[in-house]
Amino acid sequence: MENLIRFNKAVLMTGVLLCSSVAHVSFLEMSHSEITYTQLHQKELVGSKRAPQSLDDSKTSEIISRIVLSEVRRHLPKKFKSQALRISETIVEEANRYKMDPLFILSIIRQESKMNPVAIGSVGEIGLMQIRPCTAKWLNDKYKIVKTVDLKNPMTNIKIGSFFLSTLRQSFNGQSQYYISAYNMGAAKVRQKLKQKSKPEIYAKHVMKHYLGYMGDLDSVNAVEKVASIK
């Protein structure tokens, strides 16, 4: 009975994703190498045993893209709905640029701002990925990520936030609990905690809760696609 319920949920999820993509999503198509890096990042985040079983490249690319677009449309405030397609495109593009899973970037955005492009944090963080203006300025002055730093512009915000995540990932040698925590509390504080034999956990757990939900969606749709392909 439990398996039947899970399968029915998967069928429903597939229908929702298909119906949510009235617009053409071919611009979100990922190359073979991009999908390979996405799958490697999934294993880095959840381990090989928990990472989704992949379909062929085109199916994997389509499913990930549809999950991103569906979630952006679902949670984006009404006044920004017209930008859903462009925001989704930017999430996928920037994740691919830095060899990360687009669903991971999506999870950070959900945790940071609940998909609100004009959200303001308690210490002045701005936008979808809640970036402090001083951090954005320092990163952009040094690395020239964007032409103009406007953190209330969703696309600019995603570009700077994704770059920042990629630098933290490198700095902590792909140890996800640490680089996710560093995005929230700063790399120096994470290293200080590690020296004190204390591991930062709370923020990373919140992010991973979103991420595991998307992994479940991906697994569910994969299962339906595999059953449908049996002849």
pLDDT tens per residue, range 124-162? 999 999 999 999 999 999 999 999 999 999 999 999 999
CB atoms within 10 A of CB 64: 26
Cα distance between residue 142 and residue 138, in whole Å:
6
Cα distance between residue 5 and residue 72, in whole Å:
26
Name the pTM for this structure.
Answer: 0.88
Token digits of residue 107: 């999870």
Written as one letter, the residue type at 127 is: G
pLDDT number for residue 222: 67
Return the percentage of the chain with pLDDT > 90, whole number. Answer: 70
CB atoms within 10 A of CB 226: 12
Lowest mean pLDDT among 24-33, 54-63, 207-216: 24-33
pLDDT number for residue 3: 47
**Cα separations (Å) of 86 from 113, 142, 147, 230?**
18, 26, 18, 35
Reported as half-sphere exposure (CB side, CA atoms, 13 A), residue 49 has a value of 0
More confident residue, 168 or 225: 168
Three-state DSSP at 126 gives strand
pLDDT number for residue 133: 98
Q: What is the mean pLDDT of the chain?
A: 87
Give the confidence band of 80 by pLDDT, cuts at 50, 70, 90: very high
pLDDT number for residue 7: 43
Question: What domains does the chain contain, in order, with CATH numbers?
Answer: 2-229 (1.10.530.10)
The 10s digit of each residue's pLDDT in 37-61 is 999 999 999 999 888 876 677 788 8
DSSP state of 131: B
pLDDT number for residue 82: 97
